[in-house]
Amino acid sequence: MARDDAVIGCTGELLVGTRGGQGPGEVLVRVRGGTEAFLAWSDYPLPKGATVLVVDSRGTRQVDVIEWADPLDAPAG
């Protein structure tokens, strides 16, 4: 399956935590006006429930993610 460039730059929530190099987790990504599930790979383990940013698509419904904190949610000051 080809890369899915539409998901790059989208955010999501981990349904299953990632295990870094030991294996993927699962992420629910907000894309195309809805949500879709993908296998999620990361450089280091991320916990279930973490908000992540999709940084690359591996095709076959697999993406690379990093932990994400929306800067607009930061406290003012």
Mean pLDDT for all residues in the chain: 93
pLDDT at 69: 85
CB within 8 Å of 61: residues ≥ 6 apart: 1, 4, 37, 38, 39
**Predicted confidence (pLDDT) at residue 56 exceeds the cutoff of 70:** yes
Quote the pTM value. 0.89
Q: Express each pLDDT in 20-41 by its tens digit.
A: 989 999 999 999 999 999 999 9
Looking up tokens 């916990």 gives: 47
Residue 56 DSSP SS3: strand
**Predicted confidence (pLDDT) at residue 42 exceeds the cutoff of 80:** yes
pLDDT at 77: 63
CA distances from 34 to 7, 11, 23, 42, 67 (A): 12, 12, 26, 23, 21
Q: What is the dihedral of CA 19, 22, 27, 29, to 10 degrees?
A: 110
More confident call, 9 vs 1: 9
